[in-house]
Structure 1
Amino acid sequence: MTPTALNGLKVLDLSRVLAGPWASQMLADLGADVVKVERPGSGDDTRSWGPPWLQDAEGRDTADAAYFFCTNRNKRSVAIDMATPEGQHLLQRLAAEADVVLENFKVGGLKQYGLDHETLCARHPRLVYCSITGFGQTGPYAPRAGYDFLIQGMGGLMSVTGRGDAEEGAGPQKVGVALTDVMTGLHAAIGILAALQHRDRTGQGQHIDLALLDVQVAALANQAGNYLISGKVPGRMGNAHPNIVPYQDFPTADGDVILAIGNDGQFARFCEVAGRTEWASDPRFATNAARVAHRATLIPLLRQTTVLRTTREWVAALESRAVPCGPINRLDEVFADPQVAARGLRVELPHPLAGTVPGVANPVRLSATPVVYRAAPPVLGQHTDEVLADWLRAGWPPGCERVPAG
């Protein structure tokens, strides 16, 4: 069997929707045994976030939406009702066997079930317990629910995303995927791995308090740095870059091309390809700082030039001179791209109803302990009996509602 980085690690995943499941999928891809706890009858909220729906081998819609399949592979699903005393007892027993507990309930939401971090960490000092919330465990907003769209607005991302105020169609715009949730999931996985390293050295687990708002503000990166150092509030610039010119999209004879010119040498080579060598020596454009200062003059000149060739012609000519550029691909073009194909970014996993399910590969490439794609996202309750036998060496307990797989 292929060795995995996290072989033997047990993760009890009480999270749902995206941020928490994204973190646990990363751990599962790296080899952890992730047990996904779901509500009997309905499961993770994203199972119902369709259409589109997964189709079975006969082409009929199943009960699971496509959304669910982006973030739940390599996991085992158990259907346990934590609202019942029997379910709570069973989950407490599973937590006692786990190395990691991951949850994204509201602050204090699990205390009534005896599954909160204070209770479990006191009983099991080696436990790493990760809580994901909208606003964290402390502060005036701690009791509030948090959602990606809301946090993109509150955390500043939408203030710098979208067309500028002077342009047609101006206004704040969210990113096209739930990026704050995804980033929070990645930060959760990093925090969990750091806590496990600390536990291996000291024998002591810990509580990880992770907030979507914290992650979003931290991820403002250079935009936050620009504001904190200059005191000037950045605004929306469409696809332009606040610190680099030219670094945006430009029209071509048949579409658009992205220029991502990061230094003066690249700009000079672009000018040669474009037949405008005089721009490279023009004091208004010779350096990046000068191009930023004279953005309003340079960009229209570039647009007048880029429309003279097709996107394919620009990309071929500029790539031959090592000038960073590229097309703006639709998703069908993304998955047809030869580089995407060569990197194996589309994977097919076996599924008990559909036969196989397509997905996107994990981008982490480890030379000694690579990601192993063991299983597609599970059917609701598919592994309940199996997990009880593996983790607790027990069958289904009396008085606990049993949900058949599927």
Structure 2
Amino acid sequence: MNKDTSLAYALELDQQDELSRFRESFHIPKHTDGTNSIYFCGNSLGLQPKATKDQLNQELEDWANLGVEGHFHAKNPWMPYHEFLTKNMATIVGAHPHEVVIMNTLTTNLHLMMVSFYRPTPKRFKIIIEADAFPSDRYAVASQASFHGYDPNLAIIEWKPRKGEHTPHLEDLKDLLDTNKDEIALVMVGAVNYYTGQFFNLKEITQLGHQHGALVGFDCAHGAGNVDLRLHDSGADFAVWCTYKYLNSGPGSLGGCFVHERHAQNNELPRFTGWWGHNKETRFKMRDDFEPIYGAEGWQLSNPPILSMAAVKTSLELFNEAGFHNLRNKSIQLTNYLEFLLTQINSDRISIITPTQSNQRGCQLSLDVKNADKSLFESISARGVIADWREPDVIRIAPVPLYNNYEDCWKFVNILKEEM
């Protein structure tokens, strides 16, 4: 496949792409010249599905016409609304439906999970995170350590890349666990690192953590809708993610949560509770002691925000129609093609720091720019490329299989070459 750098070849690949029709399901931002931008920023905010407006309008109409009765008589009744999302979401993250719930936002869910799964003792209180974790993750684990009375500088252990490298090795995580032996309470890493795009082996990390007596969780913000997470098979204790990146639910929209089924009936686990996590049969009796719902739903706090969930529902239906396996296959081919084109530039001004193996990355490629020169990013932006600059020296580009195509990749690389 990756032997031809012509535009004609890119167009031929698009003609052969059975998923190409889904591009028309999204609004693509326009450049100042009126043409479609090259939108490679779905790893930060996914594009809006055209059907989202109709779905939102449906809920607004039902609210206007039914008022509170919409909880039971809306076209999509609000009372069980979050349940309409569960099956499709579980398919995407590789879990059983009872292990998944859409609720709250990402870091809120991370804190709720650590209430249950970070239970430090004077001997076992340390948390392993990747060295370049997303700042919110670092803030969350540091504040949890402080809340329990531990110095974050002592409690947090960083899993670092080796000198001169950008991505950490699994062997070094094993060494950290061996060195700290009975002191690790929790291993909590990003399933896909936001900066480098590295996709970690969740199953092996979980096995290592459990072998050393630690619990294991993942922030899947950059993984959900992007890579094959297989959360249930990984054995992870919990995972959290957002839905506004690859899952196209709109800025600041809801998050998702996974709790492995082995914890589904463990009522001894401490948790912060709210009425929406209580037994559905007696929820409205109002006087009963808290009785958690089986599975991840038992961690819910409040009734769901329907307008935000409407946008999530729309996007998940597109994923279901396309088939996540099909999307992942296209993603591998599309990203491999983009990588090939980039390697043909033959310039020492940029280098790809994302792993080359498709099983170690999603669609994101991170380009390290020599001398942290942001002018290159600014110049491609001026020509209609919507990408992402991350300090100190990386341009992140993400060809999303639902709405990007091979022509986008070709155009981007040619703009990049010309601006270099």
User: What's the TM-score once normalised by structure 1's chain length?
Assistant: 0.24
Structure with the bigger RCO (C-alpha within 8 Å, sep 6+) is 2
When Rg is computed on C-alpha atoms for both structures, the one with the higher figure is 1
